[in-house]
Each structure stands twice: as C-alpha cells, then as structure tokens.
Amino acid sequence: MKLSRLWAVARKELLHILRDPRSLAMGIAIPMLLLVLFGYALTLDVDDVPLVVWDQSGTPASRELVSGFQGSRYFSLRAFVDGYGEIERAIDHGDALMAVVIPADLGRATGNGLTPTVQILVDGSDSNTAAAAIGYAENVVRRWSQGIALDRLRRSGGRTVPLPLEVRSRVWFNADMESKNYIIPGLIAVIMMVIAAL
C-alpha cells in the first residue's frame, strides 16, 4: 500500500472529525463512561456480607464458631438475634443478607462426639451473591468443624496425624478475585463495537 493512499484516508477522517466534533466527543465520552461505570462503580465482589446470628447455645464452642465468622473478611456481624422473627425482619429490611442459627445442643453435642447441624438462612433474591455467601459460610463452618475433630482426637489420646490431602489453591490472572479485573477486558470489546457504530 502506498503511503499517499494512507495519507489521503487519514486526511479524510481528520476532516470528518473537524466537521462533526460531536462524533469525537461521543467516541471519547462513551468509552470513558463505560469504563468508569463497569470497572469501578459496578462491582460483583462479595465482601462484608451483613450477617445476623441466633446463638441458642451460648457455649464456648458456639462463641468460637461466631468468632470464625467475625474473623472472615467476607462477613460483617451486624447483630445477635433471638428468634426467627428477628431474622426475617433483618433480611426483609436489608439489614442482613445471611443468618446463622446455632442450635441449643451445639456444646453438648460436640462434647459427646455427635454432629450437630448449623442452619444458614440466606436472602436468595440475588442468586450469585447468595451462592457465594453460602460457599464462604460453609468454609467457615468446615474450618471450625475440623478444629473440633482434631481437638476430639487429641483428648481421646489418639495420635494426631496430618490430613492425607491438603488443598493449596492459587488463583492465576486475577489473584485478588476482583470483578473489575475480568469486566474491563470484556468491556473493551463492547467499546470497540460502540465506536465502530459511530
């Protein structure tokens, strides 16, 4: 391709931009607005899930479980409640996204080698957020449960052995697990389509 032809096309496009400055403004403003809106204003990260707890047990074991939720960056303990009515009100008014119901027999059951059930109630109106919050809560309960199992083993005189399999997960390409790190690259393709339509 000859350089003179390239120069002619570039000159024609420059004249078009000078004749219609609104197209240039739209070509710059729309992509910038989309990048700010989708990259930083809209986030799909699930952090600081508002949580209420109904601790019917009130034992050291239940307090240890609650501290596991408090120590997690994914949960923000808003209140302790005393019944399903308060849980329903907290979720309905948006004060909580999740509730943890600890049974009254938690301390006795764990002390006797039984397996009690902890109930997790979640507002499912946003299914993606609810699914992520359930996964985080199950992880907290699983960690607490493993600690109880190891403690039982030590008290029974059993020799503690390391777990046969340990998971060491590592996230590539989005180590912080932030939604903007995968939304912005996809948004660039959308911006290119918008610019081409102008």
Q: Are residues 70 and 146 in the same domain?
A: yes
pLDDT on residue 1: 63
Q: Are residues 90 and 147 in the same domain?
A: yes
Q: Are residues 25 and 86 in the same domain?
A: no
- Shortest CA distance to 49 belongs to which of 83, 67, 69, 75? 75
Q: Which residue has the higher pLDDT, 27 or 6?
A: 6
What is the DSSP pairing of strand 119-122 with strand 98-102?
Answer: antiparallel
- Residue 191 belongs to what domain range? 20-43+180-198
Instruction: Please state at what angle helix 21-36 crosses helix 180-197, rounded to 10 degrees.
Output: 160
- How many whole angstroms separate alpha carbon 137 and alpha carbon 123? 14
Q: Are residues 34 and 62 in the same domain?
A: no
For residue 70, the domain's CATH number is 3.40.1710.10
Strand order in the sheet with 49-55: 75-80, 49-55, 98-102, 119-122
User: Does residue 77 contact residue 55 with C-beta atoms inside 8 Å?
Assistant: no
Whether this model's pTM surpasses 0.95: no
**Could you tell me if residue 73 is inside a domain?**
yes
Considering its fold, how many domains does the chain have in total? Answer: 2
pLDDT tens per residue across span 141-185: 989 888 887 877 777 776 665 554 455 656 666 677 677 777 778
Q: Are residues 100 and 133 in the same domain?
A: yes
User: Does residue 112 contact residue 124 with C-beta atoms inside 8 Å?
Assistant: no
pLDDT tens per residue across span 77-108: 999 999 999 999 999 999 999 999 999 988 78
- How many whole angstroms separate alpha carbon 180 and alpha carbon 135? 21
